[in-house]
């Protein structure tokens, strides 16, 4: 097991589009374990492979209080989304300290492979639906900040650069 380092916005590598995983093998399962360990250590409720500079369609999520309900989605696809939208506050391990509201479909149905490469479908709403959509955005090179106004985006970039300088 290993802790992976998380890319910080506005790192251009966060804009890369992830490729589908062709074979779910031991290499992928090791990456999933390392991603989960990195997410729990941060701590966060979700992590996409893009955020650890691996551009493959893999996400891990655990929204439980006890951190004992790890969900793994490989090659996830949204197959249904409610017309009804809901606004929720989001944060991101790649944009530390920033939280803002994003509007997304309230309920989704997602199809993916599990860590054994077996297909499954899941219906999600509430926080889980928000997390899945947020993490899937990372796989196509989008960060939640991209949904905010230009003014907010430039303020956030400024804050992130200041943080980088302070930690350098």
Q: Give the active site residues.
A: 135
Residues 18-57: x where in contact with Zn ion by CB under 5 A, - otherwise, as a string: ----------------------------------------
d(CA 76, CA 114): 10
d(CA 57, CA 164): 28
Nearest approach, Cβ of 143 to Zn ion (angstroms)? 6
Nearest approach, Cβ of 130 to Zn ion (angstroms)? 11
Residues 73-92: x where in contact with Zn ion by CB under 5 A, - otherwise, as a string: -------------------x
Note the residue count of the chain: 168
Q: Which residues sit opposite 61 in a β-bridge? A: 46, 71
CB 3 within 8 A of CB 42: no
Q: Which of residues 89-118 bind Zn ion (CB under 5 A)?
A: 92
Residues 6+ apart with CB under 8 A from 136: 48, 59, 73, 76, 78
Is the backbone peptide bond immediately before 60 cis, with ω within 30 degrees of 0? no
Residue nearest to Zn ion (CB): 92
Torsion of CA 156, 161, 167, 168, to 10 degrees: 170
Which CB atom, from 92 or from 156, has the smaller least distance to Zn ion?
A: 92
Which CB atom, from 49 or from 92, has the smaller least distance to Zn ion?
A: 92
Size of the site for Zn ion (CB under 5 A): 1
Nearest approach, Cβ of 71 to Zn ion (angstroms)? 15
Nearest approach, Cβ of 38 to Zn ion (angstroms)? 13
Which CB atom, from 89 or from 121, has the smaller least distance to Zn ion?
A: 89
Which tokens belong to 44?
């966060």
Which tokens belong to 80?
């249904």
Residues near Zn ion (CB under 5 A): 92
């Amino acid at each position: 097991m290993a802790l992976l380092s998380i890319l910080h916005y506005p790192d251009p590598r966060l804009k890369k589009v992830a490729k589908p995983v062709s074979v779910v093998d031991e290499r992928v399962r090791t990456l999933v374990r390392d991603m989960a360990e990195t997410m729990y250590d941060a701590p966060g409720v979700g992590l996409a492979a893009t955020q650890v500079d691996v551009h493959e369609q893999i996400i891990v999520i655990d929204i439980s209080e006890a951190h004992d309900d790890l969900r793994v989605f490989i090659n996830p696809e949204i197959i249904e989304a409610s017309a009804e939208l809901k606004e929720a506050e989001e944060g991101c391990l790649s944009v530390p300290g920033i939280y803002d509201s994003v509007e997304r479909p309230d309920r989704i149905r997602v199809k993916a492979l599990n860590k054994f490469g077996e297909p499954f479908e899941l219906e999600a709403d509430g926080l889980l639906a928000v997390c899945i959509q947020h993490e899937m955005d990372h796989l196509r090179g989008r960060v939640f900040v991209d949904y905010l106004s230009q003014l907010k985006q430039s303020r956030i970039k400024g804050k992130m650069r200041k943080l980088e300088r302070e930690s350098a």
